[in-house]
A and B are shown apart, each in its own frame.
Chain A
């Protein structure tokens, strides 16, 4: 079984811990991080609207180099926390698209990810990126909570189900 575990800065620890608990011991696990290219571009090539400006970026590592280094250290920390053998993959681009393509290329038998929305038992618990991935994934999806899961008491039934 090939499992792809997509981690983000916000919930990587919870996601990795649950991967260790939930995925079978013999699963081939690949941990994935995606750097958002639009944010990198906004931070690193901040020139397009500045009419007539050509100033080179200040000396030192570029935003992309820093972004790569931080992604690597996050993936290393995740692999170490996972404990069992795993592969790591760093990609960059539009986040939701890169996750789906990574799952298709592997190809993954299961895609694991954490909710990226509000810590509530309602549709808002899944944010924009995870929603797109869950909606469009071509393989089974294992959706976990990125933080302490809300308990049964926190379920708010809509009026027609009360």
Chain B
């Protein structure tokens, strides 16, 4: 019975998140589900406290990163990136795509995939439209790199933060092990996107564009860039100094907030996405309950153990499949509880799966895609064909090549 209650709570939270009902916001459903699994005894009070104690710092870290990224937006970092991309492109669409790759891979790695999706992608659209050139390859590049370029640092993706907290490697070792998989993933995106969109990337843009023609240097938000650089440097030395990386992120977020305060306290709170933080905490408790009631042993039996290449590949593929079945956040919570006891190799292979896997479908998971098709049958004109094609071309190869890259890094480091 406890198992059934935990799974129902998990299904309800995920359904609410996908369906976005007005009368049942997902964060309330997740929080209510967490309360119910504890109330009925599916998870002991102590178990819930342990789960929250583990997730709390990670969620705080996420909030600091979200505020940091929003501070960068207010300081004009992304507008400046748009200017630099336009100038660097010399009106050639292919060069613009190269600039977009640099900007998107860098933004994703340093400020997390949310910054790329919410803050950089609209700027990229505008930059391409004003050149003028077809925004298609550039926008698709952003949305793909938001996932596949989120392998590098613990701060690049919430999934990484969750795994980072669980696997016990230092910030720099995480980055050192993931740099090769990250480069491999970005390289595969480049090869596939430049081929698929070859027609859009030919020639030189002519004419009416309003950006980059005047050759004027963009205003660089030096303070914000310095804060980001210092925050990164802080992450790098965090293990040497014995200070948790979350404090450097917090310091960076505070510095940007003080230097360029948001319009209102409401804006500041909004940037931290409190509803999402509650959702993550609720989901974490529900997944813990499902874990102790059998889900962990099922997943454990599906996953191979060990750090040899076939085992890592299997972990990456199972994680990618799971991410497409239930979305990558719950997939990470489920898998990380099982593999975190083994070597960090398995945790990082899982990250390759849950970070790259969502590129298979526009909406992040196959289940979400099917569900949205049912719920919003006609009210939206989402053309998923192109996205599915790009996903089929990039994801399988990236999973294999990036995992091989990780395995090589594990042999050397």
Residues of A within 8 A of B (CB): 8-10, 12-13, 36-44, 46-58, 63, 66-67, 70, 73-74, 77, 93-94, 116-119, 127-128, 147
In contact, A43 and B202 (Cβ under 8 angstroms): no
Q: Give every chain B residue within 8 A of A57 (Cβ-Cβ).
A: 118, 122
In contact, A49 and B368 (Cβ under 8 angstroms): yes
With A13-B207, A46-B117, A48-B363 as contacts: A94 and B383 at CB distance below 8 Å? yes
In contact, A77 and B202 (Cβ under 8 angstroms): no
Q: Give every chain A residue within 8 A of B136 (Cβ-Cβ).
A: 36, 39
Q: Give every chain A residue within 8 A of B130 (Cβ-Cβ).
A: 70
Q: Give every chain B residue within 8 A of A36 (Cβ-Cβ).
A: 134-136
Q: Give every chain A residue within 8 A of B93 (Cβ-Cβ).
A: 10
Q: Give every chain B residue within 8 A of A74 (Cβ-Cβ).
A: 132, 207-208
Q: How far is the CB of A54 from the nearest CB of chain B, in Å?
A: 6
Q: Which residue of B lies closest to A49 (CB)?
A: B364
Q: Give every chain A residue within 8 A of B202 (Cβ-Cβ).
A: 10, 118-119
B107 contacts the other chain (CB 8 A): no
Q: Give every chain B residue within 8 A of A10 (Cβ-Cβ).
A: 93, 133-134, 200, 202-203, 205
In contact, B199 and A128 (Cβ under 8 angstroms): yes
Complex partner residue of A41 from B129, B276, B365, B381, CB under 8 angstroms: B381
B210 contacts the other chain (CB 8 A): yes
Q: Give every chain A residue within 8 A of B114 (Cβ-Cβ).
A: 50, 53
User: Whole-angstrom distance between the alpha carbons of A44 and B203 in the complex?
Assistant: 27
User: Whole-angstrom distance between the alpha carbons of A93 and B383 in the complex?
Assistant: 10
B98 contacts the other chain (CB 8 A): no
User: Whole-angstrom distance between the alpha carbons of A125 and B387 in the complex?
Assistant: 23
User: Whole-angstrom distance between the alpha carbons of A66 and B330 in the complex?
Assistant: 36
In contact, A58 and B139 (Cβ under 8 angstroms): no
In contact, B199 and A127 (Cβ under 8 angstroms): yes
Chain B contact residues (Cβ within 8 angstroms of A): what range?
35 or more
Q: How far is the CB of B9 from the nearest CB of chain A, in Å?
A: 15
User: Whole-angstrom distance between the alpha carbons of A47 and B118 in the complex?
Assistant: 8
B18 contacts the other chain (CB 8 A): yes
Q: Give every chain A residue within 8 A of B210 (Cβ-Cβ).
A: 73
A to B contact number (C-beta, < 8 Å): 145
Most buried by B among A10, A73, A147: A10
Q: How far is the CB of A58 from the nearest CB of chain B, in Å?
A: 6
User: Whole-angstrom distance between the alpha carbons of A47 and B380 in the complex?
Assistant: 13
In contact, B364 and A51 (Cβ under 8 angstroms): yes
In contact, A38 and B329 (Cβ under 8 angstroms): no
In contact, A39 and B199 (Cβ under 8 angstroms): no
- Could you list some 23 contacts between A and B, CB below 8 A? A9-B133, A10-B93, A12-B206, A36-B134, A41-B380, A44-B122, A44-B125, A46-B121, A47-B117, A49-B368, A50-B364, A51-B26, A51-B329, A52-B329, A54-B25, A54-B275, A55-B270, A56-B270, A57-B122, A58-B119, A63-B125, A94-B381, A117-B199
User: Whole-angstrom distance between the alpha carbons of A54 and B114 in the complex?
Assistant: 12
Q: How far is the CB of A82 from the nearest CB of chain B, in Å?
A: 13
User: Whole-angstrom distance between the alpha carbons of A110 and B139 in the complex?
Assistant: 33
Given A9-B205, A49-B363, 13 further pairs, Cβ under 8 A: A12-B206, A36-B134, A38-B382, A41-B380, A41-B381, A42-B143, A46-B117, A48-B382, A49-B368, A51-B279, A54-B20, A55-B273, A116-B199
In contact, B207 and A77 (Cβ under 8 angstroms): yes
Q: Give every chain B residue within 8 A of A37 (Cβ-Cβ).
A: 381, 383
Most buried by A among B27, B121, B202, B328: B202
Q: How far is the CB of B100 from the nearest CB of chain A, in Å?
A: 12
User: Whole-angstrom distance between the alpha carbons of A39 and B386 in the complex?
Assistant: 10
Q: Which residue of B lies closest to A9 (CB)?
A: B132
Most buried by A among B27, B136, B362, B383: B383
In contact, A49 and B362 (Cβ under 8 angstroms): yes
Q: Give every chain A residue within 8 A of B386 (Cβ-Cβ).
A: 38
In contact, B139 and A55 (Cβ under 8 angstroms): no
User: Whole-angstrom distance between the alpha carbons of A104 and B270 in the complex?
Assistant: 47
In contact, A52 and B132 (Cβ under 8 angstroms): no
Most buried by A among B130, B365, B372: B130
In contact, A40 and B122 (Cβ under 8 angstroms): no
Q: How far is the CB of A141 from the nearest CB of chain B, in Å?
A: 19
In contact, A42 and B358 (Cβ under 8 angstroms): no
Which residues B305-335 have CB closer than 8 A to chain A? 327-330
Q: Give every chain A residue within 8 A of B208 (Cβ-Cβ).
A: 73-74, 77
Which residues B16-48 have CB closer than 8 A to chain A? 17-18, 20, 25-27, 30
In contact, A41 and B382 (Cβ under 8 angstroms): yes
In contact, A66 and B17 (Cβ under 8 angstroms): no
B152 contacts the other chain (CB 8 A): no
In contact, A12 and B133 (Cβ under 8 angstroms): no
Q: Give every chain B residue within 8 A of A40 (Cβ-Cβ).
A: 125
User: Whole-angstrom distance between the alpha carbons of A106 and B330 in the complex?
Assistant: 51
In contact, B27 and A52 (Cβ under 8 angstroms): yes
User: Whole-angstrom distance between the alpha carbons of A162 and B136 in the complex?
Assistant: 39
